[in-house]
Structure 1
Amino acid sequence: MAQATIGDSEFDRDTAVTPRPDHQGGPGVFDAHLSQGWTILRAVNGGYLLATAARALGQVLPHPDPFTITAHYLTPSGPGPAVIRTDVIRTGRTMSTGQARLLQTDSAGHEVERLRVTASYGDLDGLPDDVRTSAKPFAIPPYERCLGRADGPDVASASPFSSGSTEITERLDIRLDPETARWALGAPSGRGEIRAWFGLADGRDADPLSLLLAVDALPPTAFDLGLGGWVPTVELTVHVRQRPAPGPLRIAVSTRNLAGGFLEEDGEVWDSEDRLVAQSRQLARVLLP
């Protein structure tokens, strides 16, 4: 099978948005179809939703790339039709800011808001080359020594909520660091850390939009704390720092504080040239069985 390319892959097709004509609610209104293929357990994956909303914002803002994007997840999204309503808040010479709301129609015919996003866009290719950082790539075994789907139980079967969809796992190439995958064997470390190699299963290289998926694609850190169950995202912020080089990504997520049924997850994404290309933080609920 030939490797998929940016713009011609399942991810691109499934995050596609179609602008409505002015007489049907436009401008700035888009139709989308949330694919069953990006579902996990009970709902559509939050990173996939964020990438879809970001694609719509990229069509109304004058700059091409999300620099910082924040999403609040209001109600669970399901596969099927969705509408994205965008607003341009401000445009400037080097950055522009907008808002997007993703909505679906419920069984009673009412429009329900699923996701609200605010983002500032710019041009990653126009950033200066200077880098002054103390950040260093984290240690992880080589790809071939890490654990994939064929090496053990997948996310859903390791969770008490084992009923539900795991279709997203067929679209991702995730190889977990064995040191942070012991929860799958019933021996979590208790440190709240997950590290992995990441790519799309069809071989498509990463771009700024797929980074929004990547930061929310790993098993939740709650598993490494010895907790199972659904961990829905409440809020997710992503900073895209550079356009990723071709090749697999390395992702690390960690939590330091679980309290009151909520935890934070801090993430960092490194590309094949050892560059920090994205950072994230999310607040998530821990729903115990």
Structure 2
Amino acid sequence: MSEAASAQAVRAAIGDSEFDRDTALVPRAPGVYDIDLSAGWTIINAVNGGYLLAVLGRALADALPHSDPFTISAHYLTASQPGPAVVRTDVVRTGRTLSTGQASLFQYDEQGREVERIRVLASYGDLDSLPEDVRTTARPPAIPPLDQCFGPSDGPAPVSGSSAIADRLMIKLDPATLGWALGAPSGKGEMRAWFGLADGRDADPLSLLLAVDALPPTAFELGLKGWVPTVELTVHVRCRPAPGPLRISITTRNLAGGFLEEDAEVWDSADRLVAQSRQLARVRLR
């Protein structure tokens, strides 16, 4: 049995998976947490922005009286590196149905001075208390069955731009958005894929913060190469996801002045829109 098949056969549980261990925080003081950022969630040499958002999201879930992120907006100030970091949180307001807080993640420079890497503002609530009434024109993305899609392990060599994080994810890309990997990008700013964690852990609200920033950049299908660092990312978590793989669709409609937006939708196995996001990212045009 392959390593991937073995991981799926013995599925990790929520709370007892690599993702949970690598986002776990050690309380230092009220609202202050220490963490060692894992090198397993890096893209090239930088720590993935979705993983960082999940770390801060977990800190706020502990600091606030509500545990589920409803909306979280992050500004990425400097690139994070694997290693020690400290998260500081601040409770802005608490209410009966929503609580709001802010958090920042800091690391240390060569002189031992703190450098702020990312700052977020978020509102938390209880997803299980929301009414079931849904009125939407949104539809799940049309993606071929999982066994007809492709990931890094399906190629003869690692896909260009892949990294340590790819070993921790189950990503199967829609062939229609895979032209960039074959040297023939479509020119459309689209990326669609099946998504999960490689150890079989089901999705929860915190892992959705990772999911929206885990696919290859849409810039690749626009014919661009290289790192596409996030400047700002806002995520809306709409409901608790059902067990099973997620489907993610990301689109870009406008690249101008060296920046593009990415709009993401995340759908669960019950055909529910469980998360939405928009980010502004910088691209290298040459």
Which category of TM-score, normalised to the shorter sequence, fits these structures? over 0.9
Residue 17 of structure 1 is matched in structure 2 by 25
Change (3 A) 1:153 1:261: farther
Aligned counterpart in structure 1 of residue 226 of structure 2, from 225, 229, 239 = 229
CA distance in 1 between counterparts of 2:90 and 2:106 reads: 14
TM-fit CA distance, 1:13: 0.2
Secondary structure of 1:58's match? helix
Aligned counterpart in structure 2 of residue 137 of structure 1, from 119, 135, 140 = 140
Residue 235 of structure 2 is matched in structure 1 by 238
Residue 184 of structure 2 is matched in structure 1 by 187
- Residue type matched to 1:19 in 2? P
Residue 76 of structure 2 is matched in structure 1 by 73
- Residue type matched to 1:281 in 2? R
Aligned counterpart in structure 2 of residue 101 of structure 1, from 94, 104, 112 = 104
Residue 160 of structure 2 is matched in structure 1 by 158
TM-fit CA distance, 1:41: 1.0
Secondary structure of 2:106's match? strand
Identity %: 74
Aligned counterpart in structure 2 of residue 84 of structure 1, from 84, 87, 94 = 87
Residue 214 of structure 2 is matched in structure 1 by 217
CA distance in 2 between counterparts of 1:277 and 1:71 reads: 19
Secondary structure of 2:61's match? helix
Kindly indicate whether the alpha-carbon contact (under 8 Å) linking 1:230 and 1:288 is maintained by their aligned counterparts in 2. Answer: no
- Residue type matched to 2:78 in 1? T
When normalised by structure 2's length, the TM-score is 0.95
* Deviation string, structure 1 residues 57-113 (Cα, Å, up to 9, x no partner): 011100110000000000000000100000000000000000000000111111000
Kindly indicate whether the alpha-carbon contact (under 8 Å) linking 1:152 and 1:184 is maintained by their aligned counterparts in 2. Answer: no
Gaps of 5+ in 1: 21-25, 160-164
CA distance in 2 between counterparts of 1:171 and 1:187 reads: 27
Change (3 A) 1:74 1:50: same
Aligned counterpart in structure 2 of residue 64 of structure 1, from 64, 67, 70 = 67
- The aligned length equals 278
Kindly indicate whether the alpha-carbon contact (under 8 Å) linking 1:153 and 1:184 is maintained by their aligned counterparts in 2. Answer: no
CA distance in 2 between counterparts of 1:193 and 1:66 reads: 26
Kindly indicate whether the alpha-carbon contact (under 8 Å) linking 1:6 and 1:204 is maintained by their aligned counterparts in 2. Answer: yes
CA distance in 2 between counterparts of 1:110 and 1:257 reads: 38
Residue 15 of structure 2 is matched in structure 1 by 7
